[in-house]
Structure 1
Amino acid sequence: MTRPDTGNARLTGVGTAVPDTSYGQRELLDLLAVTDPRVRSVFLNSAIERRGLTLPGPAPDGSPVVESQGELLRKHTEQGLVLGRRAIENCLADAGARLSDVRYLCCVTSTGFLTPGFSALLIKELGIDVSCSRLDVVGMGCNAGLNALNAVAGWARSHRGELALLVCVEVCSAAYVLDGTMRSSVVNSLFGDGAAAVAVTAPGDGREDAGGALAPALLRFSSRIIPDAVDAMRYDWDDGHGKFSFWLDPQVPYLVGAHAPGALERLLRGTGLLASDIDHWVVHSGGKKVVDSVRVNLGLTRHDVRHTTGVLRDHGNLSSGSFLFSYRRLASEGRVRPGDLGVLMTMGPGSTIEMALAQW
């Protein structure tokens, strides 16, 4: 495949942020007062070592504090602003850009609902120009980062030379239900808090390139929804607890893995490329079983998904921003060469698989 047209939108910087507080899985079991051996096994066999979370300390009697839905939503907003701001600042530093350069801000979240959304709140918080265009993507789930990146890349192509930012803000600890059930325990063993931002620019008139040779160009996107599995991943209201609750069907890993080859075939159709031609894989850290299923069904090696499993180990599932944490590790590794090809992949409710093809 030839080098991409210089008009493609490119990723010119990336930044991430996690809470100041993090917990090992055994620490969390103690904090949540979990004694059920089945639940403990879920936590301790998750391939996760630590996660950044925003949790209240134990009650005076040592029992876990149960937060109301109102307290959870406030945490989502307050911690989301802290993490979002850090991710943006780190991203702009990586891109060699300033806040005054930002012309478009797209914010993604699925761990809470607020109006006005994070885009308006972050523009005020950071002092971004009030004429900045913006978009909020709410409730799409773990796949939403690539859905939003598609929209951001489109904006960048139609506003050449201007800087767009995609920011994924997920305070997963604002979506926890503590009831000791296996349904809730699977969720509570998996997700972590974090934010990730990526700078996107398409070269303007007189600019040969945007960001240099190692800023990957976004060549194409593909989406595959599995309507028969629309209920396999849900975040909906739980009357019994008086709050929102996330649910994962145990078959999700196998469902996603089985449909991954079809999604990849659609992405590569007409390019003459095969899976073996892809040099770098940036896959959402959905969980150990999900990553293993995707890896086996796509014929990938453990080395191919090293950043995905590393992010899962160090941060857990960060929902929509997970793939950007993996991309940041790849970008920092120093192994990418001009002309290399990469696939970005996210999975989430719908059930949905999103992919993007990139070339450095």
Structure 2
Amino acid sequence: MTTSAPPVAAPGAPAAVEPLGKHTLTPPRIIGVGTAVTGNSYEQRTLLDLFGITDPRTRSVFLNSAIERRHLTLPPRDATGAFGTEPQGKLLAKHKRLALDMGARAVRQCLADAGLTLADIDYLCVVTTTGLITPGLSAHLMREMGISSGTSRMDVVGMGCNAGLNALNALASWATAHPGRVAVMLCVEACSAAYVMDATMRTAVVNSLFGDGAAAVALLADPPDAAGPSSGDLDPSPAPVASAGPRLLGFASHLIDSAIDAMRYDWDDDQHKFSFYLDPDIPYVVGANAEQVVDRLLSAEGLRRSDIAHWLVHSGGKKVIDAVRVNLGLTRHDLRHTSGVLRDYGNLSSGSFLFSYERLMRERAVQAGEFGVLMTMGPGSTIETALVQW
């Protein structure tokens, strides 16, 4: 088999998409997915009442968020029943505790979905933005779960809500280079460990959005002698329901550097902890830039948006979902899982898109040969995309 050299972009032009399917007979396939959340789920109105929030503007932000419930681990109460404060050190300890618990359950569920065991993991990548720990969560998970000490590992820390697809890109490259070996990615976000409680609208917006959750996905590239049909060999008629996960055909990224400060962590001198900031205009900025990165992703495979049957977009918030939907010409049905995850869990940061993927697979409505687009957005400001085919 021969391959042509990748095209060289002209000076100043966007980097060319590297579609995996163009460079190997067997791009990696998603073979399993698993999710987990923390133990307590709260309605938005209940959270307002628990914290005694009476300001009409703040209550409006919570109650008009398109979020019904979120899983959170609230601060301990003092002798009067009021919630106590959590300094940064306690928040980091909470992050470690919640992340290891949720992460282990998500990984086990992912492996069960794939028909694998812990002994089958050859590469482990762990993604988080809601806490910092050294050594990384991957090392702690390996020790606590009993994963082989010879397992290769990587931690992706601090990239934000887009990081799941950043890491999946790296994971797919590893799986492609190691056919027949299992790569697992875990996105684990203990958003309860990244809160600041004060009376500002800045924190009200953040506090109304995020929830605790973890999602794991397993990839495998078949050895060359086990390769199935390439995407061009699929017979579109008849189209049976796809029983296996999709192959990852390519990725495309877009950095909106003019909005680099639109989503960020700042140190709050008054609270003595990190505080997350969201620019109120960022949903519209993301929406305005969504078309060019998606069209670049699809053009690498000669596809158009009308060729895409399934859209799995990060559940970043009602406004960003609406902005993406309008700018890409999608329907509410196209983004039903994105909106459903937001409704039931809130914004789960880096793992949100995998919660939507899990729901899509549970529908058992995907047809063999259909294409899907995965999309995440986050600090940078960044839009990440991936093209898949069942």
What band does the TM-score fall into relative to the shorter chain?
Answer: over 0.9
Q: 1:72 aligns with which of 91, 98, 104?
A: 91
Matched residue, 1:127: 146
Matched residue, 2:72: 53
Matched residue, 2:32: 13
CA shift, 1:209, in A, is: 4.6
The alignment status of 1:156 with 2:165, answered yes or no, reads no
> In the alignment, is the contact (CA less than 8 A) between 1:105 and 1:119 conserved in 2?
yes
Highest Rg: 1 or 2? 2
* Partner SS state of residue 123, structure 2: strand
CA shift, 1:59, in A, is: 2.7
The alignment status of 1:260 with 2:260, answered yes or no, reads no
Alignment of 1:304-315 (within 5 A): 304-315=334-345
The alignment status of 1:204 with 2:223, answered yes or no, reads yes
Q: Structure 2 length as normaliser, TM-score? A: 0.89
* Partner SS state of residue 97, structure 2: helix
Q: What per-residue deviation string (whole Å, max 9, x for no partner) do you get for residues 30-68 of structure 1?
A: 122211110001000100011011112433323332111
Cα distance in 2 for partners of 1:319, 1:300 equals: 22
CA shift, 1:6, in A, is: 4.6
Matched residue, 1:290: 320
* Partner SS state of residue 153, structure 1: helix
1:289 partner amino acid = K
> In the alignment, is the contact (CA less than 8 A) between 2:129 and 2:158 conserved in 1?
yes
Alignment of 1:1-360 (within 5 A): 6-209=25-228, 214-360=244-390
* Partner SS state of residue 249, structure 2: strand
Cα distance in 1 for partners of 2:260, 2:22 equals: 38
Cα distance in 1 for partners of 2:339, 2:25 equals: 33
Mind listing any 5+ residue stretches in structure 1 that lack a counterpart?
none
2:253 partner amino acid = S
Aligned length: 358
* Partner SS state of residue 279, structure 1: strand
> In the alignment, is the contact (CA less than 8 A) between 2:25 and 2:224 conserved in 1?
no
Cα distance in 1 for partners of 2:100, 2:88 equals: 18
4+ runs deviating over 3 angstroms: 2-6
Cα distance in 2 for partners of 1:357, 1:216 equals: 9
CA distance 1:6–1:337, shift in 2 (3 Å): farther
Cα distance in 2 for partners of 1:93, 1:57 equals: 34
Cα distance in 1 for partners of 2:330, 2:23 equals: 25
Cα distance in 2 for partners of 1:186, 1:164 equals: 36
CA shift, 1:214, in A, is: 2.5
* Partner SS state of residue 226, structure 2: coil
Identity within the alignment, %: 63
CA shift, 1:213, in A, is: 5.7
Mind listing any 5+ residue stretches in structure 2 that lack a counterpart?
1-20, 230-241
Q: What per-residue deviation string (whole Å, max 9, x for no partner) do you get for residues 322-360 of structure 1?
A: 000000001111110110000000000000000000000
* Partner SS state of residue 84, structure 1: helix
Q: What per-residue deviation string (whole Å, max 9, x for no partner) do you get for residues 125-171 of structure 1?
A: 11111010000000000000000000000000011100000000100
1:119 partner amino acid = S
CA shift, 1:4, in A, is: 11
1:285 partner amino acid = S
> In the alignment, is the contact (CA less than 8 A) between 1:33 and 1:64 conserved in 2?
no
Cα distance in 1 for partners of 2:48, 2:77 equals: 12
Q: What per-residue deviation string (whole Å, max 9, x for no partner) do you get for residues 156-200 of structure 1?
A: 001110000000010001000000210001000000000000001
